[in-house]
Amino acid sequence: MRSLAAVAMLCVMAGAAMGDPVEYVFDVTSATAIVDILPDGVVDPDPFTVLADGTFSMILYQSDNHVGQSDTFVLGAANVTNTEEIVVAISTVATATLSAGSARLLDFDMSEPAHIGPGGAATVVADIDVEATAYISGVISSTIATRLITPDAEFDMLLSTSVTGSDVLTATIDGAFSYEYAIAEISQTLTLDIVVNVVGTAHVVPDPSLGGLTALGIAGAGVWLRRRRANGAMS
């Protein structure tokens, strides 16, 4: 009986650890950035769409082996890059080329976790870390390499909730941010309004404590059974 009581206590202690942070790495299944440039008429085409692929990460504080309402999460490092070359004309005097893989979303820096609400909806406020390299040819000839952090960008997220460890978790990120770039050669400052949509999937990870709980239960049960058999043999 004492062995059973000990096993029960260990299981309770293991269960109390539920809700530990779990890291997810999402594989991007679709990603687009629609870039609208102001003032109008400086760049052609305008707007233009950038397709992307890659991964992004999330620390999710899930509970009871279940991703659902009231859980919290923090987005983290990302590696989402453009998959196709983009070529745009600038004021008919130059051409800007963005090669495949030369623009990258690097990180979501959140100051506090976001909460999953009803239906898996959440709002994320994060500093967005992006880098890009573009090649300018024509009357203007240069290479533009820039890395920017857009503070406090707000994104809407939607997460599918899950029940079992075999489920696939889907995360959708929708949001917008702006960036200004001055081109001295044409005395023009361009404002890039960028609207992003990123969808990724990852397999649900059981709570870290679940493995410990199972191991403790099996180990404890094994000890108890061995003792019972030993006692039975002696009697």
pLDDT score of 163:
65
Domain positions in the chain are 1-18+207-235, 19-205
Per-residue pLDDT tens digits for 65-93: 678 888 999 999 999 999 999 999 988 88
Q: Which helix (H) or strand (E) holds 165?
A: none
Give this prediction's pTM.
Answer: 0.77
pLDDT score of 207:
52
pLDDT band at 165 (very low <50, low <70, confident <90, very high): low
Say what percent of the chain tops pLDDT 70: 77
SS (H, E, C) 67-110: ECCCCEEEEEEEEEEECCCEEEEECCCEEEEECCCCEEEEEEEE
Helix, strand or coil, per DSSP, at residue 231: helix
Torsional sign, CA 5, 8, 14, 19: negative
Per-residue pLDDT tens digits for 3-62: 333 333 333 333 334 457 899 999 999 999 999 999 999 999 999 999 999 999 999 998
**Topology of 19-205 in CATH?**
Porin (2.40.160)
